[in-house]
Amino acid sequence: MILLNGTSSSGKSTIAAELLGILDGAWFHLGIDQFHRVRARRDWDDAAFLPVFQRTVLGFHRAVAGMAAAGNDVVVDHVLGEQWRLADCLTVFEGLPTYFVGVRCSLPELQRRERERGNRTIGRAELQFPLVHQHEVYDVEVDTDRHTPAECATQIQQRILSGPPTAFDRLRATN
């Protein structure tokens, strides 16, 4: 499993698409945005929506783990903007070799991408920016300001070829 973590608009989905094209085997791309899109839309207030949101994220982790446990190779794109999300991944992905990838991008570039995309809540990336990489432990980090999605995918592929993942084990040891 490859877990891409970064803010909204950092380039995770585009890197995931590149990875599917260069990695051997039948990889699947599972993104948290896909799960949110298939949920029923209602006019919930914040208090009513929070538990729905949390259950969606928890269910996403278990769906990803189920795919990987069944022997599938999975590229996951996610926003681990709160400690409970990472803690749940560490628990649910136990025993599943997981390359943890930090997808970084400067705040000005994130803001530019949000405006250009037109399908994102403006300001979401800025809110996530100081939170997503707080744990500071990855198997590899890529910078979408400096490198194309294809170059980022190649960096990730090279890390995979260099040996087994260690970031999740290191994070588990400190939690």
Digit-coded pLDDT (tens) for 139-151 = 999 999 999 999 9
175, pLDDT greater than 80: no
Closest CA to 40 of 25, 53, 23: 53
Mean pLDDT, rounded, of the chain: 92
Q: Which domain holds residue 110?
A: 2-174
pLDDT of residue 25: 93
| CATH code of 59's domain | 3.40.50.300
Q: Which residues, at least 6 apart from 22, have a Cβ–Cβ distance to it below 8 Å?
A: 153, 154, 157
Paired tokens of 164: 């087994």
pLDDT of residue 39: 75
Digit-coded pLDDT (tens) for 71-130 = 999 999 999 999 999 999 999 999 999 999 999 999 999 889 988 877 667 778 888 888
Q: State how many domains the chain has.
A: 1
Angle at 153 between CA 150 and CA 159, to 5 degrees: 145
pLDDT of residue 38: 77
The pTM (predicted TM-score) of the whole model is 0.93
Q: What is the mean pLDDT of residues 143-166?
A: 97
Q: Residues 19, 156: contact at Cβ < 8 Å?
A: yes
How far apart are alpha carbons 72 and 5 in whole angstroms?
A: 20
45, pLDDT greater than 90: no
Task: Strand 27-31: give its sheet, edge to edge.
Answer: 27-31, 73-78, 2-5, 99-104, 140-143
pLDDT of residue 123: 75
Of 40-54, 100-114, 145-159, the range with the lowest mean pLDDT is 40-54
Paired tokens of 120: 């994102």
Percent of the chain at pLDDT exceeding 70: 97
C-alpha distances (whole Å) from 158 to each of 36, 48, 155 are 31, 44, 5
